[in-house]
């Protein structure tokens, strides 16, 4: 057998990824800028086109646009394939045919229909953060179904978009490989170059592009930076229910909208968020039942102020309903301006520990909760009302209630006893 020498020698990280792709069907690789993502992906396609046991191997490479594929990936494809005798490159179709019968074709994700009707054995989505997430479901997944093809998603973060969701979901799927390579860990970009880049970028941009932060550059993120620090301090980890302490339940109640529920425990000065739940179009008895089934030792059910509004149709309040369903004792959080609640939330979050596996939807919402930049006024808006607001509002209720309500009666009595000379056993004179 003739040996062909491809002018590519993988960097250690690229070698790790080539090996992983041989074992896993799907991979999500998050890597910093200039780490060698595109070179790695193209070389993996070339390797498969030359060595795959599948007859007439078909590989596809998607950049966010066809122009990007043509400008960057096509050069790599030609350069690294040039040692292979008998190759044919079709400039119009951005397609390389190999003498093995294998083929690698480049596409732009802005026009995925160009790839319709073909089968693929291996697909690369390079800079997936910039692609429309429907592309995978509608174009790629069906195209790899015939021959049980594989798919690699690779890129640098760009906020909490579908690339983030895919990365987080993939972590718990058995045939998916995930990895994250930050510039401070790989050493692939020399120190001087990183320092020079840092001078020209904002810290948030640098954290996104070189340290793979999903949240740093999210414009107007309200809790993003605190959550990144919590990750570094290992405050988001395995913190499940501790039966030795009671649980407080906080609500954000929606009627036709979403309802969000947080389960917390106060242990010493710290708050632990041990669990969460959200749903929509469900009645209060559904939530009462759901909470009961958890079998937590519940100390308080804490609702936002609107629970005291009387419903026109029945003349009763939702507080009365909640009480009659066994949700007691009930505490009602005072109404405060939203900015006061957000401020209280930021202070509380710094003292909070979160159970990662039970609270993923809560964490996602808190990372996303943000303000919009208003160009004309040159200010940030009030927090945007979207899917993230419900959990953020439940947390805001928690932050105000912990501060302003007497949630823990014993602690109040302890404080009282410490601050007075009162002794209930003393008799007069």
Chain residue at closest Cβ approach to ligand ATP? 36
Instruction: Report the residue from 14, 264, 265, 358 that binds ligand ATP according to the rule CB under 6 A.
Output: 14
Residues 18 to 57: which contact ligand ATP by CB under 6 A?
33-39
Q: Which stretch binds ligand ATP (CB under 6 A): 2-10, 55-63, 172-180, 266-274?
A: 2-10
Could you tell which of Mg ion, ligand ATP, none binds residue 360, using a CB distance below 5 to 8 A set by kind?
none
Could you tell which of ligand ATP, Mg ion, none binds residue 178, using a CB distance below 5 to 8 A set by kind?
none
* Residue 79 vs 97, nearer CB to ligand ATP: 79
CB 54 → ligand ATP: shortest distance, Å? 26
Residues 133 to 172: which contact ligand ATP by CB under 6 A?
156
- Contact between 11 and ligand ATP by CB under 6 A: the answer reads yes
CB 2 → ligand ATP: shortest distance, Å? 24
* Residue 183 vs 327, nearer CB to ligand ATP: 183
Q: Which stretch binds ligand ATP (CB under 6 A): 8-16, 236-244, 368-376, 381-389?
A: 8-16
Residues 108 to 147: which contact Mg ion by CB under 5 A?
none
CB 125 → ligand ATP: shortest distance, Å? 13
SS3 letters across the chain: CCCCCCCCCCCHHHHHHHHHHHHCCEEEEEECCCCCHHHHHHHHHHHHHHHCCCCCCEEEEEECCHHHHHHHHHHHHHHHHCCCCCCEEECCCCEEECCCCCEEEEEECCCHHHHCCCCCCEEEEECHHHCCCHHHHHHHHHHHHCCCCEEEEEECCCCCCHHHHHHHHHCCCCCEEEEEECHHHHCCCCHHHHHHHHHHCCHHHHHHHHHCCCCCCCCCECCHHHHHHHHHCCCEECCCCCCCCCEEEEEECCCCCEEEEEEEEEECCEEEEEEEEEEECCCHHHHHHHHHHHCCCEEEEEECHHHHCECCCCCCEHHHHHHHCCCCCEEECCCCCHHHHHHHHHHHHCCEEEECCCCHHHHHHHHHCECCEECCCCEECCCCCCCCHHHHHHHHHHHHHHHHCCCCHHHHHHHHHHCCCCCCCCCCC
- Count of chain residues binding ligand ATP (CB under 6 A): 13
* Residue 9 vs 423, nearer CB to ligand ATP: 9
Residues 31 to 90: which contact Mg ion by CB under 5 A?
37-38
- Contact between 70 and ligand ATP by CB under 6 A: the answer reads no
Could you tell which of ligand ATP, Mg ion, none binds residue 427, using a CB distance below 5 to 8 A set by kind?
none
* Residue 38 vs 388, nearer CB to ligand ATP: 38
Could you tell which of Mg ion, ligand ATP, none binds residue 14, using a CB distance below 5 to 8 A set by kind?
ligand ATP
**Binding residues vs Mg ion (CB under 5 A):** 37-38
**Binding residues vs ligand ATP (CB under 6 A):** 8-11, 14, 33-39, 156
């Amino acid at each position: 057998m003739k040996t062909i020498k491809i002018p590519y020698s993988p960097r250690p990280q690229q070698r790790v990824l080539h090996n992983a792709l041989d074992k896993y069907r799907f991979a999500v690789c998050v890597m910093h800028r200039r780490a060698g993502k595109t070179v790695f992906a193209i070389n993996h396609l070339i390797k498969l086109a030359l060595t795959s046991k599948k007859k007439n191997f078909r590989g596809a490479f998607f950049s966010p646009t066809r122009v990007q594929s043509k400008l960057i990936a096509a050069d790599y494809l030609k350069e690294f394939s040039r040692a292979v005798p008998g190759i044919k490159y079709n400039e119009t179709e951005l397609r390389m045919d190999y003498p093995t019968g294998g083929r690698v074709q480049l596409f732009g994700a802005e026009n995925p229909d160009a790839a319709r009707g073909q089968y693929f054995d291996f697909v690369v989505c390079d800079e997936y953060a910039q692609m429309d997430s429907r592309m995978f479901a509608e174009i790629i997944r069906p195209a790899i179904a015939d021959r049980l093809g594989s798919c690699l998603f690779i890129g640098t973060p760009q906020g909490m978009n579908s690339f983030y969701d895919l990365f987080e979901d993939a972590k718990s799927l058995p045939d998916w490989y995930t990895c994250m390579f930050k510039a401070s860990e790989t050493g692939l970009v020399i120190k001087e170059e990183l320092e020079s880049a840092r001078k020209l970028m904002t810290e948030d941009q640098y954290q996104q592009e070189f340290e793979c932060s999903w949240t740093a550059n999210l414009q107007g993120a309200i809790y993003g930076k605190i959550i990144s620090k919590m990750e570094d301090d290992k405050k988001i980890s395995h913190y499940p229910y501790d039966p030795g302490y009671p649980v407080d339940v906080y609500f954000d109640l929606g009627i036709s909208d979403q309802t969000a529920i947080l389960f917390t425990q106060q242990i010493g000065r710290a708050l632990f968020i041990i669990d969460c739940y959200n749903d929509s179009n469900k009645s209060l008895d559904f939530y009462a039942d759901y909470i009961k089934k958890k079998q937590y030792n519940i100390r308080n059910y804490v609702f936002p102020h609107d629970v005291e509004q009387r419903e026109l149709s029945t003349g009763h309040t939702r507080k009365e309903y909640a009480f009659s369903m066994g949700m007691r004792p009930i505490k009602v959080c005072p109404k405060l301006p939203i900015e006061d609640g957000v401020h209280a939330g930021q202070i509380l979050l710094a003292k909070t520990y979160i159970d990662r596996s039970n609270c993923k939807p809560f964490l996602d919402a808190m990372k996303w909760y943000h303000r919009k930049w208003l160009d004309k006024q040159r200010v940030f808006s009030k927090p945007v009302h979207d899917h993230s607001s419900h959990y953020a509002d439940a947390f805001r209720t928690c932050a105000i209630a912990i501060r302003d309500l007497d949630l823990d009666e014993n602690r109040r009595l302890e404080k009282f006893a410490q601050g007075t000379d009162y002794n209930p056993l003393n008799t007069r004179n």
